[in-house]
């Protein structure tokens, strides 16, 4: 394709992706109040026997939202998973006042332990959008969460830091999403023996991930599959039906394997 046509195609695709993101934002603003309160969960009962897990196709799935968001962002993805056989779906909220990924990761760990105790499952899967994916990765990679997390799916997560975070670096947790932050460098460190399988969805039109490749995971010690998404932006990742299909595929994959290249693309 000639350079002029390539630029025209790219511009048109970016405009379309931005329009989709704006439409998603408008719809999400309407749903946002519904996700402010935590989900209702059964009261823990220490005397109740653990439920048998034999024959269950899917472990519980924990959905973790991004910065200044809440569980309402996963309404469509949760519905898609439920329609395709997932029975244990948990959407967790963490406070918008949270100032440290490490603290949020510790809280996530406590939630995961509670979910395992309540459902009788020894493992969970996690799907994290944006900052939520970074929190989940820290839990898995640095806090021993790989003993509990079978598969971690991240959607548009700044694994190596995004330059767009520098525009709001006054917030401590946003500073941790900047390239070269102490948290980013900590996650670059050795992680031998981590058993969790990572599947990272990244979009070539994600204007909040600068550069867009920051949403990939490139770590020699981790079992990683990077999935390139085309045609949609940052906000559309948790709601796009093609991404939902990709998430379902990632969660039902049999044996973990390392993918040096993108497994598939969606548009």
Q: What are phi and psi of 113, to 5 degrees?
A: -60, -40
User: Rounded to whole angstroms, how far apart are CA atoms 259 and 248?
Assistant: 18
Residue 128's H or E segment, with its range, is strand 124-129
Given a contact cutoff of 8 angstroms between Cβ atoms, the answer to whether 209 and 158 are in contact is yes
Tokens of 9: 């195609």
The confidence score (pLDDT) of residue 10 equals 57
Integer CA distances (angstroms), 232 to 14, 104, 130, 205, 206, in order: 8, 28, 14, 6, 7
Residue 116's H or E segment, with its range, is helix 101-119
The confidence score (pLDDT) of residue 54 equals 40
Tokens 């026997």, located at residue? 49
The confidence score (pLDDT) of residue 251 equals 95
pLDDT of the chain, 267 residues: tens digit per residue: 666 666 665 577 777 778 777 777 777 677 677 776 777 665 544 443 344 444 456 899 999 999 988 889 999 999 999 999 999 999 999 887 889 999 999 999 999 999 999 999 999 999 999 999 999 999 999 999 999 999 999 999 999 999 999 887 778 999 999 999 999 999 999 999 999 999 999 999 999 999 999 999 999 999 999 999 998 999 999 999 999 999 999 999 843 444 444 555 555
Residue 29's H or E segment, with its range, is helix 3-31
Tokens of 50: 């653990």
Residue 170 CB neighbour total at 10 angstroms = 7
- What count of residues does the chain have? 267
User: Rounded to whole angstroms, how far apart are CA atoms 245 and 39?
Assistant: 24
> With DSSP H G I counted as helix, E B as strand and the rest as coil, what are the percentages for the chain, rounded to 5?
40, 15, 45
User: Rounded to whole angstroms, how far apart are CA atoms 137 and 159?
Assistant: 9
The confidence score (pLDDT) of residue 56 equals 55
Dihedral, CA of residue 3, residue 5, residue 10 and residue 15, to nearest 10? 140
User: Rounded to whole angstroms, how far apart are CA atoms 246 and 230?
Assistant: 13
The confidence score (pLDDT) of residue 51 equals 42
* Contacts for 257 with CB less than 8 Å, ≥ 6 apart: 223, 225
């Amino acid at each position: 394709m000639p350079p002029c046509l390539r630029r025209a195609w790219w511009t048109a695709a970016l405009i379309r992706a931005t329009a989709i993101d704006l439409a998603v934002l408008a719809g999400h603003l309407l749903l946002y109040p519904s996700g402010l309160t935590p989900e209702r969960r059964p009261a823990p009962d220490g005397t109740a026997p653990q439920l048998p897990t034999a024959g269950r196709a899917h472990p519980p799935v924990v959905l973790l939202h991004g910065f200044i968001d809440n569980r309402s962002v996963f309404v469509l993805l949760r519905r898609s998973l439920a329609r395709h056989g997932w029975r244990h779906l948990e959407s967790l909220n963490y406070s918008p006042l949270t100032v440290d990924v490490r603290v949020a990761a510790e809280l996530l760990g406590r939630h995961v332990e509670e979910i395992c105790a309540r459902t009788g499952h020894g493992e969970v899967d996690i799907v994290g959008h944006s900052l939520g994916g970074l929190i989940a990765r820290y839990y898995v990679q640095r806090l021993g969460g790989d003993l509990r997390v079978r598969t971690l799916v991240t959607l548009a997560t700044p694994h190596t830091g995004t330059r767009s975070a520098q525009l709001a670096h006054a917030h401590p947790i946003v500073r941790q999403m900047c390239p070269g932050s102490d948290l980013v460098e900590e996650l670059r460190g050795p992680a031998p023996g981590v058993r969790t399988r990572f599947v990272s969805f990244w979009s070539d039109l994600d204007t909040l991930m600068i550069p867009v490749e920051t949403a990939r995971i490139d770590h020699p010690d981790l079992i990683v599959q990077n999935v390139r998404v085309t045609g949609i932006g940052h906000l559309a990742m948790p709601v796009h039906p093609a991404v939902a299909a990709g998430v379902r595929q990632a969660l039902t994959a049999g044996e973990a394997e390392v993918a040096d290249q993108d497994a598939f693309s969606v548009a």
